[in-house]
A and B are shown apart, each in its own frame.
Chain A
Amino acid sequence: DQQVKQNSPSLSVQEGRISILNCDYTNSMFDYFLWYKKYPAEGPTFLISISSIKDKNEDGRFTVFLNKSAKHLSLHIVPSQPGDSAVYFCAAATTGNQFYFGTGTSLTVIP
């Protein structure tokens, strides 16, 4: 059973606009959430994370929001740039370092 779900396989956004990527999870025991970015022929690279005790974490153009009651997190990219075009994976982790990844959302930023 998929514990972390990304229901949108793909997303297209105009350059300069906001990109919002969503992720849902089922296990309330997760205590850390992360977003990874993946380009073709490369491994995923860590983008941003958030602890379960917070509801927002910001790093430059990237902001992650966590809604624990809804078991939902989202990644906002503002403004979106063509170089942001990639596959984005959300992941959730327990203290035992067991990671669970979503299926990924392919973001295309149109110039």
Chain B
Amino acid sequence: EAQVTQNPRYLITVTGKKLTVTCSQNMNHEYMSWYRQDPGLGLRQIYYSMNVEVTDKGDVPEGYKVSRKEKRNFPLILESPSPNQTSLYFCASSSPGQGTYGYTFGSGTRLTVV
């Protein structure tokens, strides 16, 4: 089944403790992206990647890092999480060959930083 898989689904952590949210897609998509969803703010792009070793900042990159060493994986790293990073995170992937620019989204990771 074609899908984007994020792990973990739920995470509670403490301020300052480094964490990584993994994202993997099995559709051979070139494009991958991370979003956060907050009440009243919709979905905001954190980072995106157009291919292996190519990443760029989205609208809200502060406090986050990403890497794209392999085509299928795009982990999101929070080096020193803070409470304002408590949010619902989505990873997504797409391919320019799809013709619709439509992203396939993962099921989300709900992160709470205390």
Interface residues of A (CB under 8 A from B): 4, 6, 32, 34, 36, 41-46, 49, 89, 91, 93, 96-104
Q: Is chain B's interface secondary structure helix, strand, loop, or mixed overall?
A: strand
Q: Tell me if A89 and B43 are in contact (CB < 8 A).
A: yes
Interface size on B, residues (CB 8 A): 27
A46 to B104, CA, bound (A): 7
Q: Tally A-B pairs: CB < 8 A.
A: 62
Chain A contact residues, majority secondary structure: strand
**B45 interface neighbour in A36, A41, A49, A99, Cβ under 8 Å:** A99
Contact of A41 among B92, B103, B106, B107 (CB under 8 A): B107
Query: In the complex, A44→B106 CA distance in Å?
Result: 8
* CB-contacts of B32-63 with A (<8 A): 33, 35, 40-45, 48, 50, 58-59
